[in-house]
Chains A and B, each alone.
Chain A
Amino acid sequence: MADAITIRGLTKAYGGRPAVDGLDLDIRTGECFALLGPNGAGKTTTVEIAEGFRDRDAGDVRVLGTDPQGAGLAWRNRVGIVLQSTGGLDLLTPREALASTAKAYSHPRDVADVLASVGLDDKADTRIVGLSGGQRRRLDVALGIVGRPDLLFLDEPTTGFDPQARRDFWGLIRALAAEGTTILLTTHYLDEAENLADRVGVIAAGRLLAVDTPEALGGRSAEEATVSWEEDGIRRSLTTSTPTAEVARLAAGMSGGEVPALTVTRPSLEDTYLTMIAPHVGHDAHDAHDATEVPA
C-alpha cells in the first residue's frame, strides 16, 4: 500500500531563517508514528504543512496521495486533526458539538459510539465549560475521529493529564490504531512515544535526525547494558555487551544463586533522545510559532 505521508526535501523559512530545512519523511499506511523534537525544531511547521494549514517554500509533500497545499474538502473528509487546544465550544454539550461536526463528513462514526469510546458518555449532555482538562482533551480527540479519518494528526494529546488519564488515553489511541487508522503523533513525552508508536522520528534544526522503532532508535538495542547489584551492602555495577552471561556468572558466585537487588538496564529512550538532540539545542533555528509553544 502507498505510504500515507511522503515528504521530500521540505523547506520552510520564516523571515529568512529556516524552520524546516530539507526534511524527508515517510509515514506508512496504518502505522502510529511519533515525531519527537525540541521546541523550535520544526515539528509544528512540518505537521501544519502536512495538515494543509501552511504553505511550504520548497519540496514535495503527499498526504493520502494528495498535495495538502490547496487540497479540497474531499481530502479533508479523510483527515482528522486534533489541535493543541480547542476553545469556543464552552456553551455547547459534547453531544451537540460532535453531532454538528459529524454532519460535515460523508461516513461519520456514530456520535454515541464516539462518546463512549472516549469515556464521555456520562458527560455527553453537560456544557463543555464544565468539563475537566482531561475530559476536554478527550472531546478534542472525539472531534478529530468522528469523521472516521484514514489519517489522524495528534498534537501533544496528553499534556497536562494525570497518569491514569494518560493510560486510558493510550488505550483509546491503540484501539484507533488497531482499526487501521494511520496516526501521526507529536509529543514531548518519551514514554508516550515508546508505548504508542510503531516508529519514532527525531527532528532537530529542521531536519530528520533518525527514524527507527522506539526499541532500536539510535542503536539502543545494540548498546551495552548496565548490570547492577548489591554485594556486602555496597552497590556495584558494570557495563557489558553480554548481560545474560554476566548475570549467570554473578548468580553462580552467590550463595543460594540469588543476586541481591539485581537490575539490568539499557539507555532509556529519553537518554538516547537527549544525546541525539544535544548538539542542536540552544542554537538551532527557532521558528516563530514553535518558539511560543509551552514546554511540556
Chain B
Amino acid sequence: MSAIALGLDRTVLELKMYSREKEAVFFSFLFPILLLALFSVIFGSQFNGSDANGMTAGGYFLPGMLSAGVLLTSFQTMAMSVTAERDDGTLKRLRATPMPPVAYFLGKVGLVAIASTAQVALLLLVARVLFGVSLPSTADRWAVFAIVFALGVFGGTVLGIAYSSMATARTVGAVVIGPMLVLQFISGVYIAFDDVPPWLQQVASVFPLKWIAQGMRSVFYPSDLASAEMAGAWETGRTALVLLAWAVGGLVLCVLTFKWFKRGTT
C-alpha cells in the first residue's frame, strides 16, 4: 500500500482510539463546549445583550472557546498521545514494520483535522442554537476563520508532536497541562485580553494562542471592538503571518527532534 493509503488507514485507527478514550473525548473534545455553556449560564445576567454592542455571554466567550478547542484538540492531544506512544513502545513497534514514517504523521494530522473540525462545528451549533449567538454572514469573515483555524490546528499538531520529546509518560500531565493553562489565561481565552497587564500581553504575543484568539475575535465580534485590541486593530495579516511562522517552525522542529524510542533505551 502507498504511504497515503496507509496514512488514511492510520487516520481511521487513530479516530477509533481517540473516540474510545473517554477521558480524551471529555477533556479535549467536549471541554470547550461545556465551558461555553457554563460561562453563558454564569455570566448571562452581566451581558443580557443590553450593552452597546448587543453581545450575549455566549457571543463574548465563543472566540475564546474556539481557540481553547484548537489548542486542546491539536497541541494537547498530540503532546500527550505521542508521549504515551513513545513511552509504551507503540512507536518502536511501528518502527519495526515496513510502514513509511510519513504514514504515522498523516494519521495524526488526519485525526486532528477531523476531530477539531467536528469540535468547531459542534461549538458553533451549540452557540447558535442554545445561546442565540449570531454568526457572521460575510464570506470574508469566514475566510479569516478558515485561515486562522487551519494554521492554528496545523501548528498545534506539529508543535505538540515536537513538544512530546520533552515529556515522559510520568511527567506529561504536568509538563503539558500546566503551561497550557497559564497560556490560556494570559492569551485572553478565558478572561478578556484587555484585562491582562500590558507586559503579560507582550509575553502572550510571542505564542500562537494569543493570535488564534485575536483572529477568532475578529471573526465573531462586532468590528468596532477592534479598538480594544493591543494594536487597536484586528491585525489580520500579522495574525496569519505569526501563525504561519509557528506552523513552519513547528514542522521543522518536529522533523529535527522526533524520536521513535524513549530516552535511555537506544
Contact = CB atoms under 8 A, between A and B. Distances in A.
A220 interface: no
A100 B21 CA distance: 19
A91 B98 CA distance: 23
A73 B1 CA distance: 12
Given A73-B98, A103-B1, A88 B89 contact: yes
B88 A87 contact: yes
A104 B1 CA distance: 7
Nearest to A105: B98
B16 interface: yes
Contacts, number: 71
Interface string A81-113: 101011111011000100011011110000000
Interface in A142-165: 143, 147
A81 to B, nearest CB: 4
Contacts of A73: 98-100
A101 B21 CA distance: 21
B60 to A, nearest CB: 37
Q: Is the interface of A mostly helix, strand, loop or mixed?
A: loop
A275 B187 CA distance: 68
A105 B93 contact: no
Most buried by B among A92, A101, A103: A103
A88 to B, nearest CB: 3
Interface size class of chain B, counting residues whose CB lies under 8 Å from the partner chain: 20 to 34
Nearest to A89: B90
B264 A92 contact: no
Contacts of B20: 91, 127
A266 interface: no
A92 B19 CA distance: 11
B194 to A, nearest CB: 43
A77 B99 CA distance: 9
Nearest to A88: B90
B186 to A, nearest CB: 34
Nearest to A84: B89
Interface in B10-57: 10, 13, 16-17, 20-21
Contacts of A81: 93, 96
A51 B265 contact: no
A278 to B, nearest CB: 29
A74 interface: yes
Given A91-B20, A92-B16, A51 B96 contact: yes
B266 A54 contact: yes
B169 to A, nearest CB: 9
B100 A53 contact: no
B71 interface: no
A249 interface: no
Contacts of A289: 264-265
A76 B13 contact: no
A147 B1 CA distance: 13
A252 interface: no
Contacts of B265: 289
B27 to A, nearest CB: 16
Contact of A104 (B89, B98, B264, B266): B98
Interface string A55-93: 000000000000000000110110101010111110110
Nearest to B13: A100
B85 to A, nearest CB: 5
Interface in B60-101: 84-85, 88-90, 92-93, 95-100
Among B16, B92, B93, the most chain A Cβ lie within 10 Å of the Cβ of: B93
A238 interface: no
A105 B97 contact: yes
B9 A96 contact: no
Most chain A CB inside 10 Å of its own CB: which residue of B1, B98, B99, B264: B98
B196 interface: no
Contact of A88 (B88, B97, B266): B88
A83 B1 CA distance: 24
Closest 10 CB pairs of A and B: A87-B88, A88-B90, A104-B99, A76-B98, A81-B96, A73-B98, A91-B20, A77-B98, A88-B88, A91-B17
Given A48-B266, A76-B97, A103-B6, 17 more contacts: A53-B92, A53-B95, A54-B266, A77-B98, A83-B93, A83-B96, A86-B93, A87-B90, A88-B84, A92-B17, A96-B16, A100-B9, A103-B1, A103-B5, A104-B98, A104-B103, A147-B98
21 contacts: A51-B96, A53-B95, A53-B96, A54-B266, A76-B96, A77-B98, A83-B92, A85-B89, A87-B90, A88-B84, A89-B90, A91-B17, A91-B20, A100-B9, A104-B99, A104-B103, A106-B98, A143-B93, A147-B98, A288-B264, A289-B264
Interface of A: 48, 51, 53-54, 73-74, 76-77, 79, 81, 83, 85-89, 91-92, 96, 100-101, 103-106, 127, 143, 147, 288-289
